[in-house]
Amino acid sequence: MSEQNLSPVFAARGLVKRYGHVTALDGTDFELYPREILAVIGDNGAGKSTLIKVLSGAIIPDEGQILLNGQQVRFHSPIDARRQGIETVYQDLAVAPALNIMENIFLGRELRRPGLLGSLFHMLDKRRMLKDTVRYMQDLKIGIRSMNQRVETLSGGQRQGVAVARSAAFASHVVIMDEPTAALGVKESHMVVELIKQVRDRGLPVILISHNMPQVFEVADRIHIQRLGRRAGVVKPSDISMSDVVAIMTGAMTVPGEKIAR
């Protein structure tokens, strides 16, 4: 690991979340380093989705801290997390199908025209938004002909491409992808995986939640294994076999050697 990668971009210490008698998170730690894809995996009930919801601001933990670039932060809502540079891509294609690509990319962050037209009449600067949209899509090598196309005319993979482009364009620190390929076919999933790599290669660290083990092994730099509300360990796909990871996930095996791979 190089010098600049020593401190995590995004981290959590001792996260606890209880629902009545059920403890979903039982002191989970978490670290995400610059320029990496960190996969988060875990069996049902391991606290994987609770962890992700805490990191994306959808759930407020009972205990523990969240650190963004070493500074403690508190998120009260996903919008709060977004404002601090953490964007989330959801599995269920969170786009408005009847709006076009440009309108979806800029939904809630529209640009207004300069001068009176913008300040007095609140008029949108469609030309500038169109230009930026083309650039965002080109950055990720997503080839769609017209940005004025309604999102409903796109395939599932292309729609997810729009969602990924939006998060990559506006995230200043972290992109969280919550099962981004769960609703897609094999070929389309593959394209989204390529997009995830593009996002990392352009300098943004990615947290990837996935059930798809071959996909995790293909794309992840490190794998965070969640078990019984805690982090069972972090492994590198190059150091371990898929079956051993599944064994750790289910508790049949513990993490060999150093528990937290770097």
Instruction: Tell me whether residue 139 or residue 221 sits nearer to another protein (CB atom).
Output: 139
Alpha-carbon span 86 to 176, nearest angstrom: 7
Tokens found for residue 150 = 């309604």
Q: Is residue 121 near another protein by the rule CB under 8 A? A: yes
User: Which of 147, 175, 209, 235 contacts another protein by CB under 8 A?
Assistant: 147
SS3 of residue 26 by DSSP = strand
Q: Phi and psi for 29 in degrees, rounded to 5?
A: -105, 160
Tokens found for residue 62 = 């009972």
By CB under 8 A, the residues from 182 to 241 that bind another protein are 187-188, 191, 194
Alpha-carbon span 47 to 231, nearest angstrom: 9
Q: How far is the CB of 155 from another protein (least distance, A)?
A: 5
Instruction: Tell me whether residue 29 or residue 139 sits nearer to another protein (CB atom).
Output: 139
Give me the residues paired with residue 37 across strands.
Answer: 206
Tokens found for residue 12 = 């959590």
Q: Is residue 49 near another protein by the rule CB under 8 A? A: no
Instruction: Tell me whether residue 12 or residue 192 sits nearer to another protein (CB atom).
Output: 192
Alpha-carbon span 27 to 45, nearest angstrom: 15
Instruction: Tell me whether residue 35 or residue 128 sits nearer to another protein (CB atom).
Output: 128
The answer to whether the beta carbons of residues 210 and 39 sit under 8 Å apart is: yes
Q: How far is the CB of 121 from another protein (least distance, A)?
A: 8
Sole window of 64-72, 105-113, 202-210, 235-243 interacting with another protein (rule: CB under 8 A): 105-113
Q: Phi and psi for 228 in degrees, rounded to 5?
A: 50, 45
Instruction: Tell me whether residue 63 or residue 152 sits nearer to another protein (CB atom).
Output: 152
Alpha-carbon span 5 to 160, nearest angstrom: 29
Q: Is residue 172 near another protein by the rule CB under 8 A? A: no
Q: Is residue 155 near another protein by the rule CB under 8 A? A: yes
Instruction: Tell me whether residue 97 or residue 115 sits nearer to another protein (CB atom).
Output: 97
Q: How far is the CB of 219 from another protein (least distance, A)?
A: 16
Give the residue among 228, 229, 241, 236 at the shortest CA–CA distance from 259.
Answer: 236
Q: Is residue 152 near another protein by the rule CB under 8 A? A: yes
Q: Is residue 262 near another protein by the rule CB under 8 A? A: no
CA within 13 Å, CB half, 114: 2
- The residues near 82 (Cβ < 8 Å, ≥ 6 apart) are 57, 88, 170
- The residues near 240 (Cβ < 8 Å, ≥ 6 apart) are 256
User: Which of 73, 123, 213, 253 contacts another protein by CB under 8 A?
Assistant: 123
Binding site for another protein (CB under 8 A): 78-79, 82-83, 88, 90, 94-99, 103, 107-110, 112, 121-124, 130-131, 134, 137-138, 141-147, 152-158, 161, 187-188, 191, 194
